[in-house]
Amino acid sequence: MANEITSLTATELNDKLQNREISATEVAKAYLNAIESKNDSLGAYLTTHPDITLQTAEEAQKLIDAGDAPLFAGVPIAVKDNISTKGIKTTCASKLLENYEPVFDATVIKRIKKNGMVMLGKTNLDEFAMGASNETSAFFPAKNPWDLTRSPGGSSGGSAAAVAGNLAPLAFGSDTGGSIRQPASFCGITGFKPSYGRCSRYGLIAYGSSLDQIGPFAKCVEDAAKVAHIVTGHDHKEDTSQPLPPIDYTKIKDGSLKGLKFAIPSELYETNAIEDGVKTCFKNMLDNLQKAGATIDVVHIPTIELGVSTYYVIATAEASSNLARFDGIRFGSTVQSDGHVNQVAATRGKLFGREVKERIMMGTYVLSADSFEAYYIKAQKIRAVMVGEMDGVLDKYNAIISPASPVTAFKIGEKNNDPVAMKIIDLCTIPANMGGYPAISLPCGFSNGLPLGMQIMTKRLDDEKALEIAYSIEREFNLKFSPEERK
């Protein structure tokens, strides 16, 4: 029964809970048992509190029994460990915040609690969300459920591994340059980055404030749309929150592929950065889309070729500013100075990992007086041109599509000595963050036995259209599979 429960989608769980076929406590216990059994090998979770999980499940069951339970009451969810949870450690997978317990909940946490959802625990990530493989976690790497020798992607690798490995039906991630969509591709699940401003960032420990967005991982598009509905909508506590209603999931099933017009940037399809196996699989999907009645054109968006380098100037500059607060005085653990450096330098030097320190140093450099115009301002100008080019394409097409990642999941440790190769992995996903567009990755097939995803990006704030198109593709081609089914 436990395995049956953990293999269900969130919508299937919700239906069984509402029909009293299972209880919220049964569901919570099934997942807690799965975590206890499998997390040592997967490394998906950093923190769990079974007592809190079970107590929350009991409270959710009371809502269900009263007959007025909100959507997904009693459905469990995992939370990336850079999202603030009151009284529960929020470490960002960093030694510096190893014992930090926030005194407040992020807005997304408040909203899932209001709906009676049950938090299973905090998931692993690259330290401060800086990485593409989950290997920069200060504690241990998460692993891919399809092959435990491979990366689940990053930075939200723990959340992706939890959903793909049936240790959670849903999970939150954060996405600065692809940290939801790339792990979703690696793990064969759905990952949705809403438009910038649709989901409140209040309580998200910031990496790049003009790029960051919270979003869900799920086993299917419908689940992602429903949890997005629960957590989106205007938040007066967050200055960049759009004064818009929650994402509407009710019409995502009304769409059709017939007559849709898709654009594929040649820079994300014809480039040598895309593995041959990924190209082949994606080409098969394009053929199927055309057979289903869609029109597909290859277009040119020239500045996408500058996307990775531009992103790493802007994101690291913002990180340099955002991470200044973690000094062992205002936030974080403290390392005593040995007399050669001050206490702040000792703390940050000892407790930040190498990747975080490198990005802070790079960001500080591009913001320095001698480099500001040459790097930071130039990067922002390129960003503006890129957004203009993409807006022009989206005025003519329903969506921009591409592979979600240029590669499938690589071996853990394989790219550690090649920082350029690690950063190129974000090639396909960075453009959506640059313009604040909604973008979703959903499974589209396999290359050498490993899953990969296709990405759908629509106009800014047109999240419902992205979800509708993704649902139509998923339904048309039955794009739901799991490592358990493939074994």
Q: 374 or 331: whose pLDDT is higher?
A: 374
Q: Are residues 35 and 133 in the same domain?
A: yes
Structure tokens at 11: 């919508």
Please confirm, yes or no, whether 37 is among the known catalytic residues: no
> Do 205 and 338 lie in a common domain?
no
pLDDT attached to residue 482 = 64
Tokens of 210: 């003009």
Instruction: Please say whether the beta carbons of 97 and 141 come within 8 A.
Output: no
Q: Is residue 324 part of a domain?
A: yes
Is 80 assigned a catalytic role?
A: yes
In terms of Cα–Cα distance, which of 110, 158, 109 is closest to 133? Answer: 158
Known active-site residue 155: yes
Percent of the chain with pLDDT over 90: 90
Q: What is the mean pLDDT of the chain?
A: 95
| pLDDT score of 480 more than 70 | no
Q: What are the tens digits of pLDDT across the range 85-133? A: 999 999 999 999 999 999 999 999 999 999 999 999 999 999 999 999 9
Could you say which of 23, 38, 80, 143 is catalytic? 80
Let me know whether 327 and 405 are in one domain: no
Q: Distances from the Cα of 380 to the Cαs of 258, 306, 346, 376, 387, in angstroms?
A: 38, 12, 33, 6, 11
Interacting residues of 60 by C-beta distance below 8 A, sequence separation 6+: 24, 69, 73, 74, 116, 117, 118
Q: What is the span of the domain harbouring residue 247? A: 2-258+401-486
94 domain-assigned? yes
456 and 325 housed in the same domain: no
Instruction: Output the pLDDT for position 328.
Output: 77
* Catalytic annotation, pick one of 94, 155, 320, 472: 155
| Percent of the chain residues topping a pLDDT of 70 | 97
The DSSP secondary structure of 400-462, one letter per residue, reads EEEES-SS-PPBTTTTTT-HHHHHHTTTTTHHHHHHT--EEEEEEEEETTEEEEEEEE-STT-
Task: Looking at the structure, tell me whether residues 317 and 215 fall in a common domain.
Answer: no
Instruction: Indicate whether 83 and 221 sit together in one domain.
Output: yes
Residues 158-169 have a mean pLDDT of 98
Q: Angle 136-140-146 (CA atoms, 0-180°, nearest 5)?
A: 95
Together in a domain, 165 and 19: yes
Measured over the CA atoms of residue 246, residue 243, residue 177 and residue 264, the dihedral's sign is positive
Q: What gap in Å lies between CA 217 and CA 485, rounded to an integer?
A: 19
**CA–CA gap between residue 78 and residue 162 (Å, rounded):** 8
Task: Indicate whether 370 and 427 sit together in one domain.
Answer: no
Q: How far apart are the first and last CA of the chain?
A: 19
- The pLDDT tens digits for 299-357 are 999 999 999 999 999 999 999 999 999 987 777 777 776 665 677 888 888 999 999 99
Band of residue 484 on the pLDDT scale cut at 50, 70, 90? low
Q: Is residue 418 part of a domain?
A: yes
Domain membership flag for residue 392:
no
pLDDT at res. 343:
78
CATH code (residue 138): 3.90.1300.10
- Active-site pick, 23, 159, 174, 179: 179
Average pLDDT value for residue range 223-247: 98
Euclidean distance between CA atoms 193 and 433, whole angstroms: 9
Count of positions (residues) in the chain = 487
| Boundary residue ending a domain (328, 363, 378) | 378
Examine the domain organization and report whether 8 and 110 are in the same domain.
yes
| 389 domain-assigned | no
Count of alpha carbons within 13 angstroms of residue 86, beta-carbon side: 9
Mean pLDDT of 197-216: 98
For position 129, what pLDDT does the model report? 98
451 φ, ψ (degrees, to nearest 5): -75, 155
Confidence at 481, pLDDT banded by 50, 70, 90: low
Q: 180 and 93, same structural domain?
A: yes
Choosing from 343, 378, 413, the residue where a domain stops is: 378
Mean pLDDT over 416-433 rounds to 93
Q: Cα separation of 469 and 224, whole Å?
A: 13
Question: Does 379 score more than 80 pLDDT?
Answer: yes
Does one domain contain both 369 and 413?
A: no
Q: Is residue 118 part of a domain?
A: yes
How many domains does one find in the chain?
Answer: 2
Confirm whether 269 is domain-assigned: no
Residue type, 219: K
How far out from the chain centre does Cα 148 lie?
20
The pLDDT value given to residue 487? 44
DSSP 83: B
Residue 276 inside a domain? The answer is no
How open is the CA angle 152-173-364, to the nearest 5 degrees? Answer: 95
Give yes or no: residues 98 and 247 share one domain. Answer: yes
Q: Which helix (H) or strand (E) holds 123?
A: strand 118-123
- Where does a domain end: 316, 344, 378? 378
Over residues 42-65, mean pLDDT? 98
